[in-house]
Amino acid sequence: MRKVAEVMVALLIGILSSINAETDPTDASLLNILYTSLNSAPQLTKWSSNGGDPCGELWTGITCSGSRVTGINISGLGLSGNMGYQLDRLTAVTTFDISNNSLGNQIPFQLPPNVQRLNLAGNGFIAGLPYSISQMTSLKYLNVSHNQIQGEVTVSFNSLTALSTLDFSFNSMTGNLPQSFQSLASMTNTYLQNNQFTGTIDVLANLPLENLNIENNQFSGWIPEQLKSINLQLNGNLFNSGPAPPAPPGGPSARQPQRNPQSGGSSASLTSGSIGSGGSKSGIGPGAIAGIVISVLVIGAIAAFFIIKRRSRKSSTDVEKLDSLPFAPLDSQEVQGVKSVQTSSTTSETPAVINLIPPPIDHHKSFDDTDVSTMPVLPPKKTNTPPINAKFFSVADLQIATDSFCVENLIGEGSIGRVYRAHLDDGKVLAVKKINSSLLSKTEDFLNIVSEISRLHHPNVTELVGYCSEHGQNLLVYEFHKNGSLHEYLHEVDENSKPLIWNNRVQIALGAAKALEYLHEVCSPSVIHKNLKSANILLNMELNPHLSDCGLASVIQEPDQASGYIAPEVAMSGQYTIKSDVYSFGVIMLELLSGRKPFDSSRPRPEQSLVRWAAPQLHDIDALSNMVDPALNGLYPVKSLSRFADIIALCVQPEPEFRPPISEVVQALVRLVQRANMSKRTFRNEGVGRGGSSDAETP
Ligand SMILES: *[C@@H]1O[C@H](CO)[C@@H](O)[C@H](O)[C@H]1NC(C)=O
Ligand SMILES: *[C@@H]1O[C@H](CO)[C@@H](O)[C@H](O)[C@H]1NC(C)=O
Ligand SMILES: *[C@@H]1O[C@H](CO)[C@@H](O)[C@H](O)[C@H]1NC(C)=O
């Protein structure tokens, strides 16, 4: 009886405490995940991996407002592990400080979306900044200093107008400063020291900066005049010490200052005269009079200069007007990400594209106020044809090259259209995709699509060579990959074909994942593929994968539910996202592992859908060895196989929010390849095969 009463009391307390829990259950569960990802570190006192009440129980570093978690400050606690991959659901968090710990690898794509203070400094982060930062419009303080972040900054700063402090110092960042820095209208403190940045610092010229440290980089060119009056630290760069470039900011030569450093004597007097900041504060004397005379002359010269400039601007072409707009008409970040955006190779009608890089904005010196107000807000004459960086082919050209689209040259057929092999006169072989005309309502739509595709450049994305839009025909011309598609490799096997060995399979998965990472996280806006399947992964002679049909999402109408690649939420709602791409990618990995088709009606019913059959067994080593492609003949490292299966399991989860971003898949595959290389010797000796239960990596 007493026992029962005790149990009742305990239950009651339990119920009461859970009723009284102050914390929003979603926030609490996300902190549970974070705790687990941080290896359940004991320094995180009160934290739990399951349930609990972070706000009510005063978990270390957690601050709340009402029931929502608004702040996470777990700085300097000696934490290791990672940040997990669901922080983007912590929508009320405004402060996130995980600085001065030992977290490694990649900064996750998912970060609290409404964060104002984000401090990731002093960890071991390596890979680049996640593109998701571009969308954090509330961000005021961003600190990633003292990591080992490499590569160019591919984040777009166009929307980060609240950002006032940015600290990138002590990393290994390279490349030029992104043009989108120009949009940082609130930026007062910028720390870029001790990186390997190159190019000029012109994009910073017109920001409301107070403190700027750019020491120990490889910046070159001239220091913009506007920055000479702020607290500027610039030692250890390659700046030009000669006289400043002749024209004022906004003029054509400010953009390319290296061109002719010393043209025009008037510019020399401009810098050496009394205009230079902090110059002559001397009292009145004979020298001062001479100074005043010189000043008058100099001011006169400046006035004359601007009057002339104004005249010449009035008579300038539309192109120049477009060029002198404060903000570029195209998202300059896209230019960053897709480097080789160029003008059309076929026409000279779209010269506006040449000047994709906008000139610096000049808030301080608005000599030209009147001109600004009369400037058009949009490009005055927008040509109908979007910029296309691809060759134009005529229907006649392609008819000849494909033997009038004869059946012998037909190499594929999908929902979008047929693909033909084309032999050009110069001996080149190309693949021509004829888009079903029912999928396109207007020629303009097609040209827009071509324009989009022509901007995609990645070693694992099939390169668009040209296009044709004539007589109601719309065709895309691509590079040709002799080895056909992964689909053919896996599923159209005959006695002559060589099966893919395990390492090839991992490499193909990695290359394809990198292509997808480029589309999702480098391109801006993100490109959703929508049609990932093994038939769209083309292999070259070295079996390097090339993802095809990128940028064709808009012509895909109905999800092909029977294909086996479609994520469950797409089947239900028709809504494609980057996470539905990740699902389809997981299915491709499953194909690589099992050698089976995603949907195979020739198999017994429970095995027809590959995901449904395989997903429940992915964590079971014994089941895995039965699932693996028999064509491998048992030749695979067991550990590699099981890690590969773990990645698949994450990708094909039914809930899209639990699937990792593709960049994490890339990282996981990179680690898998690295480990495979490290343990190659051991693995030769003992670790091969389904019989080999020995772990190739444990010493
Ligand atoms: C986090 O805590 C540390 C030390 O407790 C402090 O120095 C730092 O300013 C805090 N960060 C934020 C964003 O409040
Ligand atoms: C970083 O954390 C360590 C303890 O882990 C502490 O001793 C050190 O002072 C911290 N440094 C900074 C800059 O916060
Ligand atoms: C960024 O974080 C580092 C390490 O915690 C710190 O030393 C530095 O002062 C911070 N930068 C700014 C601008 O607050």
- Cβ atoms of 81 and 41 within 8 Å: the answer is yes
Instruction: Give the number of whichever ligand sits closest to the CA of residue 96.
Output: 1
- Structural domains in the chain, CATH included, are 11-241 (3.80.10.10), 391-479 (3.30.200.20), 487-697 (1.10.510.10)
Ligand 3 atom closest to Cα of 122? Answer: 4
| pLDDT for res 143 | 97
Indicate the SS3 state at residue 571: helix
| pLDDT for res 90 | 94
Q: Which of 96, 143, 188, 231 to mutate to test the pocket of ligand 3 (most atoms within 8 A of CB)?
A: 143
Q: How far is CA 376 from CA 255, 325, 382, 563, in A?
A: 22, 8, 12, 50
Ligand 2 center to 186 CA (angstroms):
30
Ligand 1 center to 75 CA (angstroms):
7
Q: Which of 72, 77, 79, 97 to mutate to test the pocket of ligand 1 (most atoms within 8 A of CB)?
A: 97
Q: Which of 19, 25, 134, 143 is nearest to 89 (CA)?
A: 25
| DSSP line for 95-110 | EEE--SS--EEPPPS-
Ligand 1 center to 72 CA (angstroms):
10
User: Does residue 73 have its Cβ closer than 6 Å to ligand 3?
Assistant: no
Ligand 1 center to 73 CA (angstroms):
6
- Cβ atoms of 215 and 196 within 8 Å: the answer is no
Instruction: Give the number of whichever ligand sits closest to the CA of residue 165.
Output: 3
The span from the CA of 161 to the CA of 158, in Å, is: 7
| pLDDT for res 692 | 35
* Global confidence as pTM: 0.47
The span from the CA of 696 to the CA of 699, in Å, is: 8
Structure tokens at 674: 């690295």
User: Does residue 30 have its Cβ closer than 6 Å to ligand 3?
Assistant: no
Ligand 2 center to 74 CA (angstroms):
12
User: Does residue 170 have its Cβ closer than 6 Å to ligand 3?
Assistant: no
Ligand 1 atom closest to Cα of 73? Answer: 1
Ligand 2 center to 162 CA (angstroms):
29
User: Does residue 100 have its Cβ closer than 6 Å to ligand 3?
Assistant: yes
Burial zone of 144 (CB within 10 Å; 0-12 exposed, 13-18 middle, 19+ buried) = buried
Structure tokens at 63: 């601050």
Which strand (E) or helix (H) includes residue 3? helix 2-20
The span from the CA of 239 to the CA of 259, in Å, is: 14
* Alpha helices (H) along 464-577: 486-491, 502-517, 568-573
Ligand 2 center to 665 CA (angstroms):
32
User: Does residue 213 have its Cβ closer than 6 Å to ligand 3?
Assistant: no
Ligand 2 atom closest to Cα of 76? Answer: 2
Mark the ranges of the chain whose per-residue pLDDT is less than 70: 1-21, 85, 242-386, 678-699
Instruction: Give the number of whichever ligand sits closest to the CA of residue 93.
Output: 1
The span from the CA of 463 to the CA of 677, in Å, is: 30
Residue nearest to atom 13 of ligand 2 (CA): 100
Give the Cα-Cα-Cα angle 675, 681, 682 (nearest 5 degrees): 80
User: Does residue 283 have its Cβ closer than 6 Å to ligand 2?
Assistant: no
- Cβ atoms of 588 and 577 within 8 Å: the answer is no
| pLDDT for res 444 | 75
| pLDDT for res 372 | 35
User: Does residue 73 have its Cβ closer than 6 Å to ligand 2?
Assistant: no
Instruction: Give the number of whichever ligand sits closest to the CA of residue 78.
Output: 2
User: Does residue 95 have its Cβ closer than 6 Å to ligand 1?
Assistant: yes
419 residue type, one letter: V
User: Does residue 60 have its Cβ closer than 6 Å to ligand 1?
Assistant: no
User: Does residue 43 have its Cβ closer than 6 Å to ligand 2?
Assistant: no
* Alpha helices (H) along 327-442: 332-337, 369-374, 395-401
The span from the CA of 658 to the CA of 650, in Å, is: 7
User: Does residue 584 have its Cβ closer than 6 Å to ligand 3?
Assistant: no
Ligand 1 center to 271 CA (angstroms):
44
User: Does residue 80 have its Cβ closer than 6 Å to ligand 2?
Assistant: no
The span from the CA of 422 to the CA of 341, in Å, is: 26
* Alpha helices (H) along 438-595: 443-454, 486-491, 502-517, 568-573, 578-594
Ligand 3 center to 411 CA (angstroms):
57
Ligand 2 atom closest to Cα of 99? Answer: 14
Compute φ and ψ for 475, nearest 5 degrees. Answer: -130, 145
Ligand 1 atom closest to Cα of 141? Answer: 13
Q: What is the DSSP letter of 489?
A: H
Rg (CA), the chain: 30
User: Does residue 62 have its Cβ closer than 6 Å to ligand 1?
Assistant: no
Q: How far is CA 329 from CA 150, 315, 319, 324, 325, in A?
A: 29, 21, 12, 10, 8
Ligand 2 center to 76 CA (angstroms):
5
Residue nearest to atom 1 of ligand 3 (CA): 143
Ligand 2 center to 78 CA (angstroms):
8
Structure tokens at 294: 């010189």
